[in-house]
Structure 1
Amino acid sequence: MSGVYDDILHLARPQSKKHRPMPMEDRAAQFLPFAALTGYDAAVSETARLTEARVELDPQEAERLGARLAVLVKRQQEQPELSLLYYVPDARKAGGAYVTVSGRLRKITDFPRCIYLTDGSRIPIEDIVAVESPCLRENMD
């Protein structure tokens, strides 16, 4: 089976005498997909990211939380270990997320109403929904 290109089929590819061959990495870049909608994938990902709505504590839960915080105020000099569940509003869209942080209590302030931990964390009291600590178990029993 003789073909039309049999005479050139096994010849070497022509090389330019003026220009060096393009490196393989640069050649591969020519064939990367074209992103006509720059940022589209990021926008879709951001829209798909889920957030949680802030839950309002009922009066009984709020009172229980207040009592637990009052115990911590009295015992803050001891720097007790504690774990806080609190709400962090999302910076980009409606809603937020509930985050748990653990550490040692440094201080509780009235203005601003915050809890400070020894690691430098600052948690606004109005965002806190739950507090756990070994010193609370002793006082609440």
Structure 2
Amino acid sequence: MRQKMSMDKRAAQFLPFQAVKGLDEALLAKEKIKVPKIELSDEMAEELNKKMHNIKKGSIITCIYFCKGEYLKMTGMVARFDEVARILRIVNTKIPFDDILDISFPE
């Protein structure tokens, strides 16, 4: 007569097997293509400067910025806009002014 398997042991049979811990994360990191930071032209810099003058704490904005070899896009509420420290903080993400490529104001 066969002994009944506990529910924990039975469930463990169906858990995904990962032979090497962290392999999935390492493969995803390898798939990312590093890009060089774009230098803004004078016209692009002027346009961005105009947009930045419209930013107020509490505004909802979309920001495209450079971070660790890639461009990221974030939409959220402006928690801090510090012209002296040259930092824009959207929710909990601090973005140096020099890394900002573009800003838009979603409707």
Q: What's the TM-score once normalised by structure 1's chain length?
A: 0.48
1:1-141 alignment to 2 at 5 Å? 13=1, 21=3, 23=5, 25=7, 26=9, 36-48=19-31, 50-51=32-33, 53=35, 54-69=37-52, 71-72=53-54, 76=56, 79=57, 81-90=59-68, 95-104=69-78, 106-110=80-84, 112-116=85-89, 119=91, 121-133=93-105
Q: Deviations over 1:97-120 (max 9, x none)?
A: 32132435754331x211245x55
The SS at the match of 1:55 is coil
Give the Å deviation of 1:55: 2.2
Give the Å deviation of 1:85: 1.9
Question: Higher helix share goes to which structure?
Answer: 1
Q: What's the TM-score once normalised by structure 2's chain length?
A: 0.58
CA 1:80–1:132 in structure 2 vs 1: closer, same or farther (change >3 Å)? farther
Question: Higher strand share goes to which structure?
Answer: 2
CA 1:37–1:68 in structure 2 vs 1: closer, same or farther (change >3 Å)? closer
User: Which of 1 and 2 has greater Rg?
Assistant: 1
What value does the CA root-mean-square deviation take over the aligned residues? Answer: 3.9
* Structure 1 stretches lacking a partner, 5+ long: 1-12, 16-20, 135-141
The percentage of aligned residue pairs carrying the same residue is 25
CA distance in 2, matches of 1:24, 1:107: 57
* Structure 2 stretches lacking a partner, 5+ long: none
CA distance in 2, matches of 1:89, 1:30: 41
Aligned length: 104
Give the Å deviation of 1:61: 0.6
